[in-house]
Amino acid sequence: MTKLNASGNEPRDGAVLSKPEIQCLTLVAEGKRPLDICNLLVLSEIQVEDLLQSAQQKLGARNRMHAVSLAMLAGAIRHESHSKPE
């Protein structure tokens, strides 16, 4: 993998994840469905699907969950646990 650029996104052939792509991937990582993401970001379902597909292509991911994993490994998105430690 290539190094992260200054914005913290993982470039693939010069491509950088946009803020909406990062938002969508973050919400997928939280278990949200595309319809949930539409409502949260006030976007159409087609827009959300396009953003997720674009992020997947930029990251070179095989599927949506692979894109989330790659974005997490690259530091573009972070998983923050909302559960309290035991």
Question: What is the model's pLDDT at position 58?
Answer: 94
Best CA proximity match to 39, nearest among 48, 30, 31, 51: 48
Question: What is the model's pLDDT at position 38?
Answer: 96
Question: What is the model's pLDDT at position 81?
Answer: 54
Question: What is the model's pLDDT at position 30?
Answer: 94
Question: What is the model's pLDDT at position 10?
Answer: 46
**pTM: predicted TM-score of the whole model, two decimal places:** 0.76
Q: Which residues of the chain fall short of a pLDDT of 50?
A: 1-11, 82-86
Question: What is the model's pLDDT at position 25?
Answer: 96
